[in-house]
Amino acid sequence: MRQKIVAGNWKMNGSLVDNEALLKGVVDGTAGLKGVVCCSPYPYLFQMQKALSGTHVAWGAQNLSQYDKGAYTGEVSASMLNDFGCSYVIIGHSERRAIFGETSVMVAEKFKAAKDAGLIPILCLGETLAERESGATFAVVGEQLEAVTGFVGVEALEDAVLAYEPVWAIGTGRTATPEQAQEVHRHLRERIAHLSAEVAGHVRILYGGSVKASNAAELFAMPDIDGGLIGGASLISGDFCEICRAAA
């Protein structure tokens, strides 16, 4: 059995005051659960470390530099994330690919930087609406996946996490149906199985895109959906905790 994970991606939201209440709500409201993760903006990692150390809730960042250190103004390295106790880091979110020009090569390099530092990458994959409507979904997510496995080898996925996030479902309120999501999750697992059946059996594949307390349970009930990557609903502790309970 794969342990399900529910990870909150706060995106560029939060404040010291709001986060304090949110983190307390998540710790209290998910007591006894496993696989609960919160990913904050960089400036709040110290606050996460203080609030979550010694609790059952893990934390992480939403991006990292592919470089170790040096003259890279504005960037944050994997070892800095280690300093703040991060276990996880989101890699290749569609917002980073579309708005900040991250290429598949950069995503693969960032994935490697995370793994080399002992962080668990949450690698995001997903097609746009136009790609889905033209029947290119499997080709698009397959290329995104193979850009990484081609660079680091399939074994690097063994204890990594994938997140299938159809771009048309992110922040739109339009969730993929459990069947639509399952179809892509199964396809990803089959692609990985061609390289290593063992890795395919272990890798967690989360679904992301308008997951809410009201639709989480039916998504998480699908055989290849191992939890969720949650945007908007991760900012409301009651909603996020309910989604975490749906994965238990």
Catalytic residues: 93, 165
Interface with ligand 13P, residue 60, by CB under 6 A: no
Q: Which of the ranges 76-84, 133-141, 192-200, 231-239 carries the binding residues for ligand 13P, by CB under 6 A?
A: 231-239
Question: Nearer Cβ to ligand 13P, position 122 or 147?
Answer: 122
Interface with ligand 13P, residue 9, by CB under 6 A: yes
Question: Nearer Cβ to ligand 13P, position 7 or 154?
Answer: 7
- With CB atoms as reference, the residue minimizing the distance to ligand 13P is 231
Question: Nearer Cβ to ligand 13P, position 91 or 200?
Answer: 91
Side chain identity, residue 12: M
Nearest to 206 by CA among 142, 97, 122: 122
Interface with ligand 13P, residue 231, by CB under 6 A: yes
Please give the helix or strand (H or E) that residue 124 lies within, else none.
strand 120-125
Dist CA 167 CA 105 (whole Å): 20
Interface with ligand 13P, residue 162, by CB under 6 A: no
CB 127, CB 97: distance < 8 Å: no
Dist CA 185 CA 224 (whole Å): 6
| Region of residue 160 (left: phi > 0; alpha: psi -120 to 50; beta: else) | beta
98-133 in b/e form (b: 16+ CB < 10 A) is eeeebebebbbbbbbbbbebebbbbbbbbbbeebbe
Q: Which of the ranges 80-88, 140-148, 151-159, 224-232 carries the binding residues for ligand 13P, by CB under 6 A?
A: 224-232
**Per CB under 6 A, which of residues 173..212 are in contact with ligand 13P?**
208-211
Which residue bears the tokens 């991006």? 63
Which residue bears the tokens 């020009």? 101
Q: Which of the ranges 74-82, 101-109, 225-233, 239-247 carries the binding residues for ligand 13P, by CB under 6 A?
A: 225-233
Interface with ligand 13P, residue 230, by CB under 6 A: yes
Bridge partners for 161 per DSSP: 122, 204
Q: Is 226 exposed, middle or buried (0-12, 13-18, 19+ CB in 10 A)?
A: buried
Interface with ligand 13P, residue 213, by CB under 6 A: no
Taking the complex as a whole, how short is the minimal distance between the CB of residue 111 and ligand 13P, in angstroms? Answer: 16
Question: Nearer Cβ to ligand 13P, position 208 or 227?
Answer: 208
Taking the complex as a whole, how short is the minimal distance between the CB of residue 54 and ligand 13P, in angstroms? Answer: 27
Taking the complex as a whole, how short is the minimal distance between the CB of residue 95 and ligand 13P, in angstroms? Answer: 7
**Residues interacting with ligand 13P, by CB under 6 A?**
9, 93, 165, 170-171, 208-211, 229-233
